[in-house]
Amino acid sequence: MSILAYDLGASSGRALLGRLTDNKIETQEIHRFSNDPVQVGSRLQWDILRLYHEIKQGLLKAKHQGVQVQSMAIDSWAVDFGLVAGNGELLGNPYHYRDLHTEGIMENMMKELSPSYIFERTGIQFLPFNTIYQLKALKEAGSPLLQQAERFLMIPDLLRYFLTGEMLNEFSNVTTTQLYNPLRGQWDQDLLRAVGISEGLFGQIVHPGACAGQLLNSVSSELGVPSIPVIAVAEHDTGSAVAAVPALQKSFAYLSCGTWSLMGTEVDEPVINELALKLNFTNEGGVGHTFRLLKNIMGLWILQELRREWERAGVTYSFPELVKLAEEAPAFGSCIDPDDPLFLHAGDMLPRIQQYCRQTGQKAPEQPGEVVRCILESLALKYRYVLKLTEQVSSQQFNGLHMVGGGIQNLLLCQWTANAIGKPVWAGPAEGSAIGNLIVQWMAQDVFSSIWEARKVIADSFPVTVYEPEQQEIWNEAYGRFLHVTGLTEYR
């Protein structure tokens, strides 16, 4: 018997079949598809019906291979949502979190409510695209969608609703809205009031490991598949990725490396104090009542955008080709702070990188290899900075870093990360989110009694590549220059 995990990242989605044999996990990717947001007029939107179509394709492919699927679950990127009308229909397409409608909203809201007021209630970092600011933007714009909405469903909730007819809100994603109070275990009434939305918009919260419905008869007969259970996993992809980190001891640091780089550690209680607020750390809900104390780093998004830009100009590079160009370019020509707001929105990445470099008194990179090298070295250096902050905010010392996610296929980035942090990097598995999704489905079936038991099986099932730090002196010097150029100061 197999189970089916769908992992939808901001750049691509995949369906993995999982099977347990002799306490080892075997996975088979049966479907992969790109996730292409669509710009319509001034709005950047997700193509949610295409994603739903791809989910159905995955079920069909499993059927055509003669695989009996026991259960399925979906995880995706966080914060985004769809609004559903009283008649059960989806109102419009979900907006992309990089849409410009949230510009200035977080800053304005902070004039009414202090950051500490919001942080004390939610423990969530301040990102301009958090759900709270997206809803506030819709409210301020007098959005007819919001006026008509009767239910709020996050991306996996929405896809699950299409499959099962049940409208439920999954916990790990709920925490990323910055509207949920983890200490009280409920939506925060004060924040809902401040945004001007009613609690009636939200449904019952389901936790990872619960059954969240069965395939509707209409869906199973359309596809000719049995009506299987749909499980709530950590439906926030980062929650699933961290669940799959093959750590064997409680205190560990991770980097979930994909479109975003999410770096942090797992904690039993949210860390809501002045330092976490000052350093803009977040506490996202996870599997088995854990929390992810982490920081978002802009990640490989910058490279993805650059690649798209070159493609539009008629030059197509694969990721391995870009990595090779970077390897051949001169070292440490220039650096950027990947988290500068300049790099958040789509488009014009090359001129923005060049602008950043000129404004900071550096030579702007010109050749593709120079630009890619600048991005990858800057990411590695930023990882060093954030790892140190993670140690400080969690009062722990880490002896290495676990890396999971599609980004670990970039071997150069893994090696440079080890060089930058001066500690080993343990890379694997690449399909962290899908594997985390699988193990929580098995936890729902009592195959694993805890996340730690599951992590041990992951460690025994998937290879981990070890990168030992090299060229320490050169990277230490580069880090000094990086701090100088970016103006980042280490917290002491």
**Which residue in 15, 300, 336, 438 binds ligand ADP (CB under 6 A)?**
300
296 touches, from ligand LRH, ligand ADP, none (C-beta below 5 to 8 Å by class): ligand LRH
**Which residue in 164, 175, 240, 259 binds ligand LRH (CB under 6 A)?**
259
Check 237, 337, 340, 446 and give the catalytic one: 237
The one-letter amino acid code at 155 reads I
**Which residue in 5, 79, 197, 434 binds ligand LRH (CB under 6 A)?**
79
In angstroms, the CA 245 to CA 268 distance is: 16
Considering beta carbons, is residue 136 or 236 the nearer one to ligand LRH? 236
265 close to 398: Cβ distance less than 8 angstroms: yes
Cα 222-154-53 angle, rounded to 5 deg: 25
**Which residue in 320, 341, 351, 422 binds ligand ADP (CB under 6 A)?**
320
262 touches, from ligand ADP, ligand LRH, none (C-beta below 5 to 8 Å by class): ligand LRH
**Which residue in 46, 77, 187, 442 binds ligand LRH (CB under 6 A)?**
77
Q: Which of 333, 280, 291, 320 is nearest to 488 (CA)?
A: 280
- In the block, tokens 């009434």 appear at 189
Helix axes 105-112, 131-140, angle to 10 degrees: 90
**Which residue in 4, 5, 10, 247 binds ligand ADP (CB under 6 A)?**
10
Considering beta carbons, is residue 396 or 409 the nearer one to ligand ADP? 409
Considering beta carbons, is residue 241 or 376 the nearer one to ligand LRH? 241
Say how many Å lie between the first and final Cα of the chain, rounded. Answer: 53
How is 14-32 classified by DSSP, letter by letter? EEEEEEEETTEEEEEEEEE
**Which residue in 237, 266, 305, 370 binds ligand LRH (CB under 6 A)?**
237
Which one of 57-65, 267-275, 317-325, 468-476 is the stretch in contact with ligand ADP (CB under 6 A)?
Answer: 317-325
237 is an active site residue: yes
Which one of 63-71, 252-260, 341-349, 367-375 is the stretch in contact with ligand LRH (CB under 6 A)?
Answer: 252-260
Q: Does 410 bind ligand ADP (CB under 6 A)?
A: yes
**Which residue in 176, 259, 261, 394 binds ligand ADP (CB under 6 A)?**
259
Cβ at position 320, least distance to ligand ADP in Å: 5
Backbone angles phi, psi at 29, to 5 degrees: -80, 115
Residue 409 CB-half CA count within 13 A: 13
- 317-350 b/e (C-beta count within 10 Å ≥ 16 → b): bebeebbebbeebeeebbbbbbbeebbbbbeebb
In angstroms, the CA 164 to CA 330 distance is: 54
Considering beta carbons, is residue 235 or 370 the nearer one to ligand LRH? 235
Q: What DSSP element (H or E) covers 91?
A: strand 90-91
Could you tell me how many helices (H) and strands (E) the chain has, helices first?
19, 22
Considering beta carbons, is residue 146 or 408 the nearer one to ligand ADP? 408
Q: Does 369 bind ligand ADP (CB under 6 A)?
A: no
Considering beta carbons, is residue 360 or 409 the nearer one to ligand LRH? 409
Q: Does 338 bind ligand ADP (CB under 6 A)?
A: no
Q: Which of 278, 296, 324, 316 is nearest to 382 (CA)?
A: 296
Q: Does 435 bind ligand LRH (CB under 6 A)?
A: no
Q: Say how many residues touch ligand LRH, by CB under 6 A.
A: 14
Q: What DSSP element (H or E) covers 38?
A: strand 38-40
How is 396-430 classified by DSSP, letter by letter? ---S-EEEESGGGG-HHHHHHHHHHHTS-EEE--T
Q: Does 10 bind ligand LRH (CB under 6 A)?
A: yes
Considering beta carbons, is residue 62 or 241 the nearer one to ligand LRH? 241
420 touches, from ligand ADP, ligand LRH, none (C-beta below 5 to 8 Å by class): none
227 touches, from ligand LRH, ligand ADP, none (C-beta below 5 to 8 Å by class): none
Question: Computed from CA positions of residues 307, 313, 318, 322, in that sequence, does the dihedral angle turn out positive or negative?
Answer: negative
In angstroms, the CA 281 to CA 294 distance is: 6
Q: Does 310 bind ligand ADP (CB under 6 A)?
A: no
Considering beta carbons, is residue 55 or 219 the nearer one to ligand LRH? 55
Residues that bind ligand LRH (CB under 6 A): 9-10, 77-79, 97, 236-238, 258-260, 262, 296
Active site residues: 237
Residues that bind ligand ADP (CB under 6 A): 9-12, 258-259, 300, 303-304, 319-320, 323, 405-407, 409-410
